[in-house]
Amino acid sequence: MRGTLSDRAGAALLMAPLLLFLILAYAWPFLGVVKWSFTLPTPGLGQYHALLTDELVQSVFIRTLRIAAIVTLVSVTAAYAITVVWVRGSPVQRVLAEFCILVPFWISVLTRAFGWVALLSNRGLINTWLQSIGFISEPLTLVRNEFGVIVGMSHFLIPFAVFPLASAMRSLDERVLLAARGLGSSRMRTFWTVFVPMTRSGIIGSAMITFVFSLGFFVTPAILGGGRSVMIAELIYLRIFQSPDWGLGAAISFVLVVFVGALMALLFRYVKPKQLV
């Protein structure tokens, strides 16, 4: 018999490579970043003091929270509308809805942000069309502002918001819906008083995922915001590469991780991880 390895040694041998890899390439450098936040440029809590007093940093935090809240509301509402058809529609409707959800999901964030630039920029599709029918004479400013950022981020996050909702809608008992209809409740009333409350865990999960993702968003705001509506992630990038102020960049990163961690802990008190996929 060749099985001479004890169970414990076998487990250790198999699991060690990945654990070592992530300790060396992820956990250790993360601690290094945390150290930066306390030591650069001078040792102490100076960077965290700056976080609480610097007006620019605070305005970026507030803008990030505001944009994340709006994007969450838009994404979850839109995702709900298309998920209803994906889960409950006729077979043809389901295929079409799935196509519209999965194609954007698999296309890279850069291509999708670029698509919005092509649509919304001054010489883009929408402005060219509105000018050609004589509706406007000057192009509307649709990108390089908060509007463009919100549109682009919502577009990116809708497919992610769909999955927890779909999981909740699939698991609910159809007979309850049919009973409500059979007892004479209208479509609208059945939807609002029976269907929506029964998908509550999906709505919470979907909103949390969208909100957490929005907080750390980098690419879409950087492209569609055009440097004018900077969010936290872009501020970190600017602090590290443009103003070199590594300490402040590191401190913002650490605060962001702690905040997201707290949100995730809150999320898992209400929703089981399995309900999110």
What residues between 27 and 46 interact with another protein by CB under 8 A?
27-30, 32-33, 36
Contact 240, 33 (CB under 8 A): no
From the list 237, 238, 245, 275, which residue makes contact with another protein (rule: CB under 8 A)?
Answer: 237
Rounded least distance, CB 224 to another protein, Å: 10
CA distance 176 to 106: 35
From the list 58, 59, 128, 243, which residue makes contact with another protein (rule: CB under 8 A)?
Answer: 128
Residues 69-88 contacting another protein, CB under 8 A: 78-79, 81-82, 84-85, 88
Total residues interacting with another protein, rule: CB under 8 A: 96
Rounded least distance, CB 46 to another protein, Å: 19
Residue 65 within binding range of another protein, rule CB under 8 A: no
Cβ count near 98 (within 10 Å): 16
Stretch that binds another protein, among 23-31, 45-53, 60-68, 133-141 (CB under 8 A): 23-31
Q: Which two tokens stand for residue 219?
A: 């690419």
Stretch that binds another protein, among 40-48, 55-63, 65-73, 107-115 (CB under 8 A): 107-115
Residue 274 within binding range of another protein, rule CB under 8 A: no
Residue 134 within binding range of another protein, rule CB under 8 A: no
Residue 196 within binding range of another protein, rule CB under 8 A: no
Residue 250 within binding range of another protein, rule CB under 8 A: yes
Report CA 20 to chain centroid distance, whole Å: 29
Residue 110 within binding range of another protein, rule CB under 8 A: yes
Residues 157-176 contacting another protein, CB under 8 A: 158-159, 174
Stretch that binds another protein, among 43-51, 60-68, 198-206, 216-224 (CB under 8 A): 216-224
CA dist 38 → 121, 130, 236, 243, 257 (Å): 42, 53, 16, 18, 16
